[in-house]
Structure 1
Amino acid sequence: MSTDDSHSQMGQSVGARIRAARQAKKYTQSQLASPDFSVSYISAIERGQIHPSLRALEILARRLDLPSTQLLPQYSQDGRGGGASISSPMNENAVIELALLEAQICILQDEAVQAIAKLGKLADKHLQDRQRTQQRYLLGWAYLHTAQLQKCENALVEAEKLATAQNDTYSSLHTHNLLGLAYAAMHNYHRALQSHQNCLKLLESAQPQDPFFQCEVYNHLGQHYTHLDDFTSAIDMFKQAIVIVEELVAPEHTRSIYWEMSLRSEIYHHLGHAMMKAEPEKARAYLEEALQQENNVQDGLTNASITIRLAEWFLVHNQLEEAEHNARQ
């Protein structure tokens, strides 16, 4: 049986579990979908036509008050009970897919050590090229979470080579992103900058566009430039990120509100620092203007971030009364 058949079987099992859990909660598909997904997306998952992403699985499980692993199919070694036998190549492949999925869930749940153990067990399995790429990528991600930075780099470099050989743009750009974070953790900001520049190039040519990811990459680039004392380039990167954040405030992006508030606060924090280094005279006017913008007024986190930077500006310029006033806001 083909790999597609294996994916279909696992997708149908996941979809059936989601449908059963939804019906048990007496939710309609619309209630389960809103505000993150469309009804057609939920319907396709439940019919087994598509596989939910790990992010979608986490959201749906949380909405259904279930651990995400409970939505995954169960496999047994001997075929007894409710699981499926892994004696056939099709089921062996499904078990590999499941192990990769479980490892990713472990990482998302801050259980990277467990993820490393699960991924290590796949090392002697006969993995397809795509599976090998994902295994190395996830291993690098888990090593990053456990601060095993050299192992992280080795795994991600191998994942990137595999992704490039397969012309897998999606895996390449996500691998470059993690490599950038790993190099930054190593304080190798030149290589971190190069990795995130490669990531940005891939993102700009990717379809469909992912503005959330793109915004995060601009933010990372700004931080790398800051560490390299190239404050002018850092400011440009942070401002690019803010432009994207402001676009994500539109009604069609309301699902991103918590993400947007947190990231915008972080970007203004780093942007304020870069401006005080590169354009100290312009920094005050920029920060005061930013405080008056409606989105920033309504966003307590961002408002606090800008106010703190403004207080720092007054302190540096020995305007202690103004610094104290802003610090108490």
Structure 2
Amino acid sequence: MDTQGDLWQVTPDLRVRAKNIDAGLVGSRIRLARQRAGLTQGEAAGDVMSTAYISRIEAGQRRASADLLVALANRLGCDPDELLAPDDDVAAREELARVTLELDYADLDVRTGDGPSALVRIDAVLASPDVPHELATKAKYLKAQALESLGDLSGAIKVLEDVVSASHESHLRLRALILLSHCYREEGDLARACEVGDRASAMIDAADLHGSTEGIQLAVTVAAAHYERGDVNYAMRLCARAVESAEALESPTARASAYWNSSIVHERQGNIADALPLAHKAITLLEQTHDASAMARLRSQLGFLQLSMSPPDVDEAMRNFERARAEMDHTTASPIDFGRNELGRARCRLLIGDVEEAERLAEDCFEAVRESSLMLSAQALTVLGQVAASRGDADDAVARFRRALVVLDGMGADREAAQLWFELANLLRSHGAMEDAIEAFQRAGTSTGLTSPSMAVRTT
């Protein structure tokens, strides 16, 4: 086929085939190509023909001329030969087109936060015995993304391990490794998160992809795992390089990922002044991607940053938490996302003295995440203890704090856990529960890498 620039042109051979091929067959192929392109009949028709006419062509009631076929092919981004191919293996080609379209819709579901819809589409594709290997592997990767978005980390990990071992396509395997490292980190298995990250890093090195979207996403994912393990300086260097590389890219997703994760590392270092502008940059970039789920998570993160300021910017934090909650209503956010947002709103309500609403939100958070996140469960119990303390019920406050200690004891040692151990230690000490406070101080030290069997704690 001759082309001029990127446009297909009419040839004598194409005119002959357009006159002789079955109109119904061509119509069904045009319909599949249009659906794959995500266009309505009116959008595909443009100013070339009427919507009614393209409808009749798709129904096989009108034969499209060679000129119309080429015009449609150019609008739909397909090859006219695809529309005029002989009838051999038509069923196989149409099934392939159908599966590809279903996966495109599943990908859109994942990106817009509709995990359950994505899973229905993907499972239907995987149930077909004739799906090509690479399309099946892509379907499994999308399934892992959907499971992760719904908070099913163990399910996502199981599927991702299968993708990594089965995929013959290096970029898909790399993306699977990056998501696998993230899932292990979220599950608290920091050693596995770093090990998987190292495997992905070797692929990045071999393909010289350090400045690519995948390279940046891997860098910030591995940085977060190393930070939680206590290797703060290495994590900071990884984030700094990721931000530097992201500045040279056009990809809003890669740049937002770099800014977002760097913001988290700065915030946990106590550098709120550096963390806030990075979070604002990430939000501005994510608004270009229309990723509702990511936007909601980042707005909640920004709310926590604003609560970490001295003094806390409670009004702005509450606005961000409320906006994030409204965005979550239009997606299928995970229980962890909902729980984290409820925890932030509970802290805001506690700071302005609305203890009844703070208690309700903290209880809702605890019930939502008690089976999926030990950290959020312990944080919710800590807020409930503070609610009790604000009412003057010291015994109930200490009981809540002690329960948070029990929950936290099930977690591994990382910096976030250390921070909560330290916070609980101070709360228990302020309420006279000195033995519990000393134990909590010791656990805080262990979580940050201190190995001394005891810590000196002032009791007066």
2:338 to 214, 224, 227: 214
Q: Report the counterpart of residue 201 of structure 1 in structure 2.
A: 326
Where do 1:51-66 residues align within 5 Å? 51-52=176-177, 53=179, 54-56=181-183, 58=185, 62-63=191-192, 66=195
Paired residue secondary structure (2:245): coil
Pair 1:267 & 2:380 matched: yes
Q: Report the counterpart of residue 68 of structure 1 in structure 2.
A: 197
Give the C-alpha shift of residue 165 in structure 1. 2.9
Q: Is the 8 A contact 1:153 1:182 kept in 2?
A: yes
One-letter code aligned to 2:383: H
Paired residue secondary structure (2:287): helix
RMSD of aligned residue pairs (Cα, Å): 4.4
Paired residue secondary structure (1:173): helix
Distance 1:325-1:101 versus aligned 2 partners, 3 A rule: closer
Matched residue count: 260
Distance 1:40-1:185 versus aligned 2 partners, 3 A rule: closer
Where do 1:249-264 residues align within 5 Å? 256=372, 259-260=373-374, 262-264=375-377
Q: Distance in 1 between matches of 2:340 and 2:159?
A: 28
One-letter code aligned to 1:277: S
Paired residue secondary structure (1:197): helix
Q: Is the 8 A contact 2:303 2:321 kept in 1?
A: yes
Paired residue secondary structure (1:51): helix
Q: Is the 8 A contact 1:225 1:233 kept in 2?
A: yes
Pair 1:144 & 2:273 matched: no
Q: Report the counterpart of residue 369 of structure 2 in structure 1.
A: 245
Distance 1:299-1:108 versus aligned 2 partners, 3 A rule: closer
Q: Report the counterpart of residue 189 of structure 1 in structure 2.
A: 314
Pair 1:127 & 2:250 matched: yes
Q: Is the 8 A contact 1:211 1:244 kept in 2?
A: yes
Q: Is the 8 A contact 2:300 2:340 kept in 1?
A: no
Give the C-alpha shift of residue 162 in structure 1. 1.9
Where do 1:41-120 residues align within 5 Å? 41-48=160-167, 51-52=176-177, 53=179, 54-56=181-183, 58=185, 62-63=191-192, 66=195, 68-75=197-204, 83-84=206-207, 86=208, 95-110=212-227, 111=232, 112-120=235-243
Give the C-alpha shift of residue 68 in structure 1. 2.7
One-letter code aligned to 2:390: K
Deviations 1:17-65 (A, max 9, x none): xxxxxxxxxxxxxxxxx95556444212322356241423557883599
Q: Distance in 2 between matches of 1:138 and 1:325?
A: 37
Q: Is the 8 A contact 1:284 1:310 kept in 2?
A: no
One-letter code aligned to 1:266: Q
Give the C-alpha shift of residue 71 in structure 1. 3.6
Q: Report the counterpart of residue 23 of structure 1 in structure 2.
A: none
Paired residue secondary structure (2:290): coil
Q: Is the 8 A contact 2:342 2:364 kept in 1?
A: yes
Q: Distance in 1 between matches of 2:428 and 2:380?
A: 15
Paired residue secondary structure (1:121): helix
One-letter code aligned to 1:230: D
Query: Structure 2, unaligned stretches of length 5 or more?
Result: 1-133, 138-152, 411-422, 438-460
TM superposition score normalised by structure 2: 0.46
- Mark the structure with the bigger radius of gyration: 2
One-letter code aligned to 1:100: Q
Query: Structure 1, unaligned stretches of length 5 or more?
Result: 1-11, 16-33, 77-82, 249-255, 316-322
Q: Is the 8 A contact 1:96 1:122 kept in 2?
A: no
Give the C-alpha shift of residue 118 in structure 1. 1.0
